[in-house]
Amino acid sequence: MSKDVAIIGVGQSAFVRSYQGSIRELAFEAFREAMQDAGISTGDIDASIICSAPEYDNQRSPSGIIAEYLGLNPQPTFAVESVCSSSTTGIRVGYSMIKSGLHDLVLILGFQKMSEISSADSQERMGRGADIMWEAPFGTMMPAYYAMHAQAHFASYGSTEKDLALIRVKASKYGILNEKAVYRKEVKLEDALNAGMVASPLKRFDCCANADGASCIIMASQARAKEMAKKPVWVLGLGSATASMTLTGRDALNGLTCARVAAEKAYAMAGVTPRDIDVAEVHDCFTIAELMAYENLGFAGPGQGAELIRAGETYIGGKIPVNVDGGLLSKGHPIGATGGSQVRTIVQQLRGEAGAIQVPNAAIGLVHNIGGVGVYGNVIILGR
């Protein structure tokens, strides 16, 4: 279990439906918190990686604008994009830079200001995250894609709409406690079950909301981490995988192969198994995505994920607490910032700094971040 690269600072803006400032101001909110958390100055940063999905704002090449505004010039800055998994891809790149010896301290900042365009335009851009020759022209949208995954899971394993509603109820319980979440209201089981249909079987509460937000992660080499950080959190394992852009190229629809393969790689690198994970953040853009993640990550066998939520095993105090910050379903989903927000939650858990949502004695945590409709999969394992 290698401890060569650590996370020494984490930050996040509030996730909101409509941020009134510019993208550079939004980025600064996460940056400021991370820098204060790490106790460092801009002069300590060797390089920055800016992560976002394109076409949500008018600024071409926003990485240069943001690096300038944050005072990071003349150190190099880079742009990284893998749609919804952009900031965990940035973390993978940052890890590689440090391991290679090119840099000792790397800042990864993810952001998205999705309110710059209308909901209809946003959905159209998300649809073009699929193959623009064979799928997007037919009007495919994110809820419809994940509805197909839900239908396949139901048909294969007998999971139900109630199982999905139970996941939303859990998300709301913890979202209420997250001051940076968009949605901080209780969702009762009957409300989730009786909500309006979006794409069968997914209803309104089965879907996360678009949001504006930013996240910031500061990574350091072993030597710098031991010198600078009181509670470094170590990167134990990284796994990534990519699947067919079109659903017709997938081997199955009742799970995400990219997540399963990425998890296998991360577990192997970290030298741990699913049973060793104390707390997890998974990419619950839709309730079915969390259910599939239980199985793809090995927390349950194929078709057995529903048993975890039915028994309350993914709550704090259960077998494997999942998304105890409310997940995307409560926090919202500012595409480029989402993965960094997940990492921030796990870092706070491993430091014992998660307050009302603290999982007792959490020592090893996992982040599962998906880009597109199961196209890109990143899994990161972190340890005290």
Q: Contact 205/13 with Cβ under 8 angstroms?
A: no
The Cα diameter of the chain in Å comes to: 56
**Backbone dihedral region of 238: left (phi > 0), alpha (psi from -120 to 50 degrees) or beta?**
beta
Q: Contact 286/143 with Cβ under 8 angstroms?
A: yes
Q: Give the total residue count for the chain.
A: 384
Q: Contact 344/11 with Cβ under 8 angstroms?
A: yes
Which amino acid, residue 243?
A: A
Catalytic-residue membership of 285: no
Q: Position of tokens 């309730």?
A: 287
Torsion of CA 257, 258, 261, 262, to 10 degrees: -150
Q: Which helix (H) or strand (E) holds 229?
A: none
Of 84, 207, 208, 216, the active-site residue reads 84
Provide the token pair at 350: 């491993």
Give the three-class secondary structure for 47.
strand
CA distance 263 to 297: 6
Catalytic-residue membership of 283: no
According to DSSP, residue 74 is labeled T
Residue 376, φ and ψ in degrees, nearest 5: -110, 135
Of 149, 153, 333, 368, the active-site residue reads 333
Tell me how crowded residue 155 is: count the other CB atoms within 10 A of its CB.
Answer: 11
Give the three-class secondary structure for 289.
helix
CA distance 337 to 195: 28
From the number of C-beta atoms within 10 Å of its C-beta (0-12, 13-18, 19+), residue 61 rates as exposed
Give the three-class secondary structure for 131.
coil
Cα 381–chain centre separation? 13
Active site members: 84, 333
